[in-house]
Amino acid sequence: DAMVIQNPRYQVTQFGKPVTLSCSQTLNHNVMYWYQQKSSQAPKLLFHYYDKDFNNEADTPDNFQSRRPNTSFCFLDIRSPGLGDAAMYLCATSRDRGRVQGAYEQYFGPGTRLTVT
């Protein structure tokens, strides 16, 4: 089945130790998103890729970086995790193509729960 896969599902890292979360998709969607979600709050968009074009949200800290080496994979790098970065990180994709841009729903992965010790 086509899907969005996130690895690992649970990640524990130490304060200040770089960590990378990964996302892969078999949907061949051209848009990929990274969200941060805390304590059943609304997901907060960190950034997204439209094909290879990177779009950073204005309030996303510099501590968060992303890479998309190809259509299928996208990575979230947290360079120096702080205690406040503990959260669920959600990857999502959407087709967004053509003149009906924005009409397509997002497909979410199961998330990676990050703990910072």
Partner 1 sequence: AQSVAQPEDQVNVAEGNPLTVKCTYSVSGNPYLFWYVQYPNRGLQFLLKYITGDNLVKGSYGFEAEFNKSQTSFHLKKPSALVSDSALYFCAVRDVGRDDKIIFGKGTRLHILP
Contact flag: residue 58 with partner 1 (CB under 8 A): no
Q: Which of 24, 29, 43, 81 is close enough to bind partner 1 by CB under 8 A?
A: 43
Contact flag: residue 42 with partner 1 (CB under 8 A): yes
Contact flag: residue 101 with partner 1 (CB under 8 A): yes
Backbone angles phi, psi at 79, to 5 degrees: -70, -40
Compare residues 9 and 15 and give the one whose CB is closer to partner 1.
9
Contact flag: residue 108 with partner 1 (CB under 8 A): yes
Verify cis geometry, omega within 30 degrees of 0, for the bond prior to 8.
yes
Distance between CA 21 and CA 90 in Å, rounded? 10
Contact flag: residue 61 with partner 1 (CB under 8 A): no
Contact flag: residue 100 with partner 1 (CB under 8 A): yes
Q: Which of 55, 80, 115, 117 is close enough to bind partner 1 by CB under 8 A?
A: 55
